[in-house]
Chain A
């Protein structure tokens, strides 16, 4: 299928998410769409997939101008999409998910489950994507769930496959395998639109790379373009991909985790015997693919998840199974993974959010009554010190940009006396300027002797910040290595190899 976008413009109120975008995907081509978070990639995909209707411009498929009222029509026209957040019903079986919307039926509207399962087996075989049609989605590992998403698109005879940030949840080895599948699909004549913000991946798999920035196409380049060039196109200026930092001068151990076992909501031991330590004045970076227990580990550190066995020690004091309040009092600074969910109250003011976890601390309150003057004064100071862009301290946090929201959290956490800092995916979804800023702040704290634990699934971030790197896989630490270790080694460790065997 040849698909051509001509002058696609999509606005949300006064904000223009896509601005006169032109794009051509040839049959059998892997076309990469590269851009930062918030550049308008997902909006564009939703336009192609019929989930959004553009204000201007047209979509031309094989010479025919098309208008999709909804995604069902797009699917019928041969467009398939693998969403970043899987569009799978967790309690349904693989077969039910694959046929949803296009169900084979018998009399009385009954589902023809046998036909559905047969169809899945046929497509699985054709493309080598083995999966049990009767398995329930929520019981499958993430990699297999993604496979189901691909199957779902293929079984509707998709000729154009859109993959929206498909690698975020995969190990480097799984990414390799996915790329192999993409290549073979392209060879079979399918067109592929691959969306990502990772430079290495586009160069590895793409035939053509189109870069977009702030809703506009910056240009299309061949995969031989250097990473530095691509990065510059992406952000519009030269970027330093690393933070300059002096060698660490580690001091005493501030945080010690020993044989930690933590269960997730389903009762599985997703943290399964983790041992790790962080010293004052160093940054320990915890690398690993999402969903290997990092989230639960951090929750346990923050006192938000019960610890089944093992111990956590802060500056020599046993704090195992402390309550969140007690952990904060022990000097835990926490930049949570999901800032809007756990870090902020969006419907409250910047000033209130800046004292969210210290409301009772002097001078913000005395004997149960808040001192709003002190809260306000604190807010003015932080807004100034941390360069939070807001019209007023009374402004609701929801009206701030993502980067400034993160700055509110960073300001709040770093402005009180800390024993150690846990920062989980601290720069996810931020623009490059904010990333640099947040990294700088963290490194500064480390220089002043704070022990820092960074949890990140972005290898770039891990290498930029980490003095030592620990890798987590399936609830265990597969090894702790120093920051000079090669990407390949770390990649293997993320896939479960121990540090020794990964070196071999």
Chain B
């Protein structure tokens, strides 16, 4: 048999534009320089910070304890700054083709760590308040969990080619109905179900308008958020206010996993959490496995990348998208319930843009569940610190701290879009010819 006598151009090596790696390198190095100057040299030479690892307010009464760790603030922070600078310089000079985001993430974690040491330094404004790492991680994990739910929702939709920018609105819907059901039945399983159903219905609206009527997905998303926030505000005044027992705000109790929760430091963070946390982990594994290992995932990704090719081998593009959007938005609804279950009674506007941050986490995580987890953790810690750093009496106003998570989101999006590649057909209406 004849072979195609191709004068073959040597198979194109995969080249990523290097410009952005350098930009991210500069940002990383800048971050490191800031750590070095502000948190390192900005702490007096004799200052020290105390790190503790025993969660406060723990009801489990851990039988273990790790002593406090006292560190010299200035030198630890200088080290952190230097490491970040080194990472940045390496990216500027060597321009590695992969892992720019991971490197940036490491530098960001170093930044947050140094910030904590600096905030808790003694002598300093906090007068030696201990930095309780475990408590901080526990507090952050609640926010990270919600962000991951949101990002997973986005992954489900966008891997199939539908942009879901309305995660914020879906959080609101889930939180509202979750709170009502949780308050009336005191059953978080039912509340979760209610949130999922509310989400699924919202997903159906998004899918219906963008798939059947080819409406602009971003406009529909933005309007859906407006609608959900006004609807929730309306119902809050009309229904929840007159009947406060519909919105009592009971928090989901933690389920300690025997033995494991006793592991120092990470035990209380990972193994003494509410059911929503464990469910999130199950979802991450399921979606990760499903997308990249199964027939279902291959087809979903084909639909999101090249719907015509999928259609040409008999895959029903529209149906796949419907299913994914409805399931995906249901996940965001559950995320809303999870938020409610960790923050308390529904209040108007209390998701404060978390849904959009989740969207940024999705981009930062390159449309992968594992990436969404890393991004969710990073953003979760930043958001938590923005809310809680004030306890250290640091000389930065609450308002400026509050801007932080949003500014980081902007920085991430500005640094990364163009580098990361969304599913090729993401957001594009599809019509069979």
Q: Pick the interface stretch among A65-73, A219-227, A353-361.
A: A65-73
Which chain B positions have C-beta within 8 A of A496?
7
Q: Is the CB of A177 within 8 A of B4?
A: yes
Interface centre among A86, A92, A184 (most CB of B within 10 A): A92
How far is B301's CA from A136's CA once the two chains are assembled, in angstroms?
15
Q: Is the CB of B2 within 8 A of A181?
A: yes
Which chain B positions have C-beta within 8 A of A184?
1-2
Which chain A positions have C-beta within 8 A of B306?
87-90
Interface size class of A (residues with CB under 8 A): 35 or more
* Given contacts A81-B312, A101-B313, A181 and B4 within 8 Å (CB-CB): yes
Which chain A positions have C-beta within 8 A of B4?
129, 143-144, 147, 174, 177-178, 181
Interface string of B260-290 (1 = CB under 8 A from A): 0000000000000000000000000000000
Which chain A positions have C-beta within 8 A of B295?
103, 105, 109-111
* Given contacts A51-B312, A111-B295, A139-B12, A92 and B305 within 8 Å (CB-CB): yes
Interface string of B2-15 (1 = CB under 8 A from A): 11111111011111
Minimum C-beta distance from B6 to chain A (A): 4
User: Which of A100, A141, A178 meets B310, CB within 8 Å?
Assistant: A100
Q: Does A316 contact B (CB under 8 A)?
A: no
Q: Is the CB of A51 within 8 A of B6?
A: no
A5-31 residues at the B interface, CB under 8 angstroms? none
Q: Is the CB of A141 within 8 A of B313?
A: no
* Given contacts A178-B4, A181-B2, A90 and B296 within 8 Å (CB-CB): no
Which chain A positions have C-beta within 8 A of B411?
none
Which chain B positions have C-beta within 8 A of A173?
5, 7
Interface string of B295-320 (1 = CB under 8 A from A): 11011011001101111111110000
| Minimal Cβ-Cβ distance residue in A for B19 | A267
Q: Is the CB of A100 within 8 A of B313?
A: yes
Minimum C-beta distance from A75 to chain B (A): 6
Q: Does A207 contact B (CB under 8 A)?
A: no
Q: Is the CB of A128 within 8 A of B13?
A: no
| Minimal Cβ-Cβ distance residue in B for A86 | B309
User: Which of A103, A171, A474 meets B298, CB within 8 Å?
Assistant: A103
User: Which of A46, A89, A141 meets B6, CB within 8 Å?
Assistant: A141
| Minimal Cβ-Cβ distance residue in B for A130 | B3
Q: Is the CB of A144 within 8 A of B8?
A: yes
| Minimal Cβ-Cβ distance residue in B for A113 | B293
Which chain B positions have C-beta within 8 A of A72?
313-315
Which chain B positions have C-beta within 8 A of A108?
294
How far is B7's CA from A111's CA once the two chains are assembled, in angstroms?
34
Which chain A positions have C-beta within 8 A of B9?
141, 474
User: Which of A100, A174, A181 meets B309, CB within 8 Å?
Assistant: A100
Q: Is the CB of A174 within 8 A of B6?
A: yes
How far is B7's CA from A267's CA once the two chains are assembled, in angstroms?
22
* Given contacts A128-B3, A141-B6, A71 and B302 within 8 Å (CB-CB): no
Interface string of A248-275 (1 = CB under 8 A from B): 0000000000000000001110000000
Interface size class of B (residues with CB under 8 A): 35 or more
Q: Is the CB of B8 within 8 A of A141?
A: yes
Q: Is the CB of A96 within 8 A of B298?
A: yes
How far is B310's CA from A70's CA once the two chains are assembled, in angstroms?
11
Interface string of A54-74 (1 = CB under 8 A from B): 000000000000000011110
Which chain B positions have C-beta within 8 A of A105?
294-295
Minimum C-beta distance from A151 to chain B (A): 11
How far is B433's CA from A99's CA once the two chains are assembled, in angstroms?
24
Q: Does A389 contact B (CB under 8 A)?
A: no
Minimum C-beta distance from B430 to chain A (A): 14
| Minimal Cβ-Cβ distance residue in B for A178 | B4
User: Which of B2, B293, B302, B313 meets A75, CB within 8 Å?
Assistant: B313
Which chain A positions have C-beta within 8 A of B7?
171, 173-174, 495-496
Q: Is the CB of B11 within 8 A of A140?
A: yes
Which chain A positions have C-beta within 8 A of B13?
139
Interface string of A35-49 (1 = CB under 8 A from B): 000000000001001
Q: Is the CB of A267 within 8 A of B15?
A: yes
* Given contacts A90-B306, A109-B295, A267-B17, A73 and B314 within 8 Å (CB-CB): yes
Q: Does A374 contact B (CB under 8 A)?
A: no
Which chain A positions have C-beta within 8 A of B3?
128-130, 177
How far is B99's CA from A132's CA once the two chains are assembled, in angstroms?
27
Minimum C-beta distance from A91 to chain B (A): 6
Q: Does B16 contact A (CB under 8 A)?
A: yes
How far is B194's CA from A273's CA once the two chains are assembled, in angstroms?
64
Q: Does A52 contact B (CB under 8 A)?
A: yes
User: Which of A71, A174, A181, A268 meets B12, CB within 8 Å?
Assistant: A268
How far is B4's CA from A428's CA once the two chains are assembled, in angstroms?
27
Q: Does B47 contact A (CB under 8 A)?
A: no
Q: Is the CB of A89 within 8 A of B314?
A: no
Minimum C-beta distance from B269 to chain A (A): 30
Q: Does B72 contact A (CB under 8 A)?
A: no
Q: Does B79 contact A (CB under 8 A)?
A: no
Q: Is the CB of A87 within 8 A of B1?
A: no
How far is B306's CA from A411's CA once the two chains are assembled, in angstroms?
36
| Minimal Cβ-Cβ distance residue in B for A85 | B308
Interface centre among B1, B294, B314 (most CB of A within 10 A): B314
The 5 listed contacts between A and B (C-beta, < 8 Å) are A72-B315, A75-B314, A89-B306, A105-B295, A135-B11
